[in-house]
Chains A and B, each alone.
Chain A
Amino acid sequence: MRYLPLSEPDRQEMLKTIGVSAVDDLFKDVPRSVLLDKPVDLPATAGEMAVEQTIGALAGKNTGTSAVPSFLGVGAYRHHVPSAIDYLVQRGEFLTSYTPYQPEISQGTLQYLFEFQTQVALLTGMEVANASLYDGATAVAEAMLMASRITKRNKAILSGGLHPHYRDVAVNQAKFMDFQVTCADPDPLATEDLSALIDNETACVIVQNPGFFGQVRDLSALSEACHEAGALLVVAVAEVVSLGAIKSPGAMGADIVIGEGQSLGNGLSFGGPYLGLMACRQKFLRQMPGRLAGETVDVEGRRGWVLTLSTREQHIRREKATSNICTNSGLCALAFTMHLTMLGEAGFTRLAKLNHVAASKLADRLATIEGVELVNDTFFNEFTLRLPKAANEVVEALAEKGILGGVPVSRLHQGVGDLGNLLLVAATELNTDDQAEAFQTALKEVL
């Protein structure tokens, strides 16, 4: 077995050193009735070639987004990642290290986390950011609990423009903690009045921008309404590239910003692993969950980095911790920060512009099809279409024509009455005019 360096003579010699005659003697504390005497019923050892064939065959049964025109979004976006990124991410010193518990031999990880935290704070318009959470959905639940600790209240209001998975994860967490959540109805037109739902027991209002249906909103008035009632405004960003084009949540009065960072540096990978972002105002720092890298000096006075404020965390505080999170998304954060560093201010804002232009042109193009209506008047790189028939059937028919033509709203908002004909369509810098034309042609044919 190629991953096991011990030879049989090594094993025998080691057993002799230990003073036992067989490996089973080392398992003497296991009740005999449950100790297996032979391998379980699964396939035997396989070489690299055989494994590549088995997994390759599974891959071959799928249609990847790089093989056909793809216009899928809803919190997972296909972007171009510079070649150097994946090479650098796979350097063993990054890939095969762990949480930087020994800072003297983990300065690489700690420095990139410090740079990552700075970038996330800058993008979101917040003062501080943590070193990542699991994904956008779990970050929403963490933000809700954080707002509750800050305000000492236990009611949250969730916008109808929140990604349904983000909503579901938060609602699920809430029900285990006697926490009350009010969910506004799905809101394709962004006409909901969340301010009217706020009262003096509200811990936070959680709203996504751009919204699940694509709409871009000014949240300033909502922020004021929150603050008047002593509540916090939590803003979720499902497409982090939008922050290169749209006013930051911080500039609109957010108190906590969470996001999905997959778009930068990280592939689609069928939905994970992704990257939860979290940033907040400085004054809320000590209630923030997750790891934090901080600057300090060593005994020679040289600048260096450590994990800090760990008294918030589970390994110190146990049942009183801010969260149970331990392992987070370190390597995804590395890919994110590398990609953003490679882009820089000029590249990142241009990337955002390219996305907006691609989506805007695609919307114009598709809206010319008879019976197809563009639902939102504002959006970034994803918008909602109203089709003359059920969107899930349209998507299946498009797939048969080799086009991954968007996500039916009904797949995520299941069983909600009048949303069946709504289709979410995204375009990024990777979608060419030819692909847009192919999509237009195919959509016309299947309607």
Chain B
Amino acid sequence: MPTRTILGNRGLQIEEPLIFEQDTPGMSGCDLPEPEEATNRLGGLAREEAIGLPGLSEPQVVRHYTRLSQKNYAIDAGVYPLGSCTMKHNPRLNEKMARLPGLGDLHPMQPVSTVQGALELMDVLGHWLKTLTGMPAVALSPAAGAHGELCGLMAVRAALEDRGNARKVVLVPDSAHGTNPATATLCGYAVQSIPANARGRVDLDALKAALNDDVACFMLTNPNTCGLFEDEILEIADAVHDAGAFFYCDGANFNAIVGRVRPGDLGIDCMHINLHKTFSTPHGGGGPGSGPTVFSEALAPFVPVPYVVDTGDGFALVESPAQSDQKPFGRMKGFHGQFGVFVRALSYMLSMGSDGLRQASADAVLNANYIAAKLNDVLTQSFEGPCMHEVLFDDRFLKDTDVTTLDFAKAMIDDGVHPMTMYFPLVVHGALLMEPTETESKLGLDQFVELVRGLADRAQGDNEKYFKEAPRMTPRRRLDETAAARKPVLRWVPEAGG
């Protein structure tokens, strides 16, 4: 039985009220100077009513956020095997570099003569990305993976319109991330699904049957979301190109192949790269990310503004289509992209080097195959053969129990680890997608395996209650998501009369 105390606290777990419930009116954690007098130029539109922000002192603020932080799981704390998210170690050197004077304090609209080092840094980052992917052009400005997808598809549409026909349809495999079809819609395309074959790859015959003059693009994640390399990718690329369409690769899983396979050699026309996955920049509780997108020769002229040009006599920034000698499709982000993330990613790339990146992809794949080998007699692996950097199981191993994938995941939490991705991809039943990344040591993997095996074993016994009631040890136990959605409470409001 969970124990309760007067304050609701348990050991180091503190019940922390909202900031609005800690208000001392008039209090501030900042001692700002008294404003001087000056001509008021607000045009009679000064705010007259109070905003309603609470007042807290500095120590109260520090405690509040420290306590909140202690309610979070994080990579710094342990294995975070969230498939397709590449939760690898976030080096603190990257943070230090992003904050250097001369980088962290640059204004985006300074004269370009005063930011030559920043433009050079973007150029160097672009060079690394182009070299690692074997692609001739890059757009750095997309803000995250889904934004990079949008960038890729906008370039596709611009190139097709340039040829005289934008076409109508984007083909997307069943197993794709939800962002792929959502992005296609944002580019004005209808979406058509392509089924997977029995080996967890694109059904090439189905793809060929779907390809015609209306198809603008085929979007494929490779390695795919089943954790498998698309072994017919060269045939896929040929088929797509023969139909006059473009080939988009979702680079969410690039970490498996960095330094070993160049997407440019696979016939890919564009691919986004999640710097916050493959190149170690922090996920930050849900961003910021960065989604630079690389392009083939055919799409290179349509890369959006802004972009950096090495003039030989310094670096220039092309900020509008009018300044460009190419055919940029437009602009998709304010200023120049997620520069602070660029600095962090470059810091990681320079640290790893060409050899280290190649070792990292090998270790990521090795780690995933190791847990597959250690678990496949108790869990049910969905597809045979070696996986790439993540391994997909389904819930067949739970079929004679009343335990679901969700229950299993919640029980993992009580054992002190973050669960894997669940119920994705949709192509297998009750998916469990595990991506340990190269960050895990062998000891860490062995502990993880032991924990999962223990739970798999427990699930076979008469232990339904144990799983249904998990987690028990966390700051909160299972939360009522149905109630949250039925009657949304999305902000604090003062109590009536309060």
Contact = CB atoms under 8 A, between A and B. Distances in A.
B498 interface: no
B285 A245 contact: no
Given A172-B331, A173-B186, A309 B488 contact: yes
B188 interface: yes
Interface string A350-381: 11011011011101100000000000111110
Contact of B73 (A28, A106, A129, A293): A106
Nearest to B343: A55
Contacts of A42: 128, 131-132, 349, 353-354
Interface string A264-275: 000111111110
A411 B305 CA distance: 14
| 3 residue pairs, one from A and one from B, having the closest CB atoms | A271-B335, A331-B284, A271-B108
Q: Which of A173, A273, A305, A342 has the most B CB atoms < 10 Å from its CB?
A: A273
23 contacts: A30-B231, A43-B353, A45-B353, A45-B355, A50-B350, A52-B93, A76-B108, A84-B61, A93-B70, A99-B283, A111-B71, A131-B286, A134-B147, A178-B188, A267-B105, A268-B106, A270-B335, A271-B336, A272-B340, A330-B287, A356-B40, A414-B323, A415-B322
Given A108-B69, A292-B490, A324 B438 contact: no
A357 B144 CA distance: 38
Band of interface residues on A: 35 or more
B230 to A, nearest CB: 8
Given A55-B97, A108-B72, A297-B483, A114 B18 contact: yes
Interface string B87-98: 101111101111
Q: Which of A102, A175, A363 has the most B CB atoms < 10 Å from its CB?
A: A102
Given A117-B490, A315-B178, A326-B179, A62 B40 contact: no
B198 interface: no
Nearest to A15: B366
A244 interface: yes
B188 A59 contact: no
Nearest to B258: A40
B117 interface: yes
Nearest to B475: A107
Given A55-B343, A268-B106, A31 B233 contact: yes
A388 B304 CA distance: 34
Given A62-B114, A84-B62, A378-B43, A109 B72 contact: yes
Nearest to A291: B286
B43 to A, nearest CB: 3
A150 interface: no
Interface residues of B, number: 212
A64 B102 CA distance: 4
A349 B385 CA distance: 62
A34 interface: yes
B477 A270 contact: no
Interface in B265-279: 265-266, 274, 276
Contact of B261 (A34, A118, A134, A324): A34
A329 B259 contact: no
Contacts of A351: 30, 32
Contacts of A28: 385-386
B484 A165 contact: no
Contacts of B126: none
B108 A270 contact: yes
Contacts of B76: 92-93, 95-96
Interface string A91-103: 1111111111111
A60 B102 contact: yes
B52 A321 contact: no
B117 A176 contact: no
Contact of A45 (B285, B339, B356): B356
A78 interface: yes
Interface in B29-68: 29-30, 32-33, 35-56, 58, 61-62, 64-68
B95 A90 contact: yes
B290 A354 contact: no
A205 interface: no
A161 to B, nearest CB: 14
A349 B334 CA distance: 27
Given A66-B105, A104-B471, A128-B491, A93 B41 contact: no
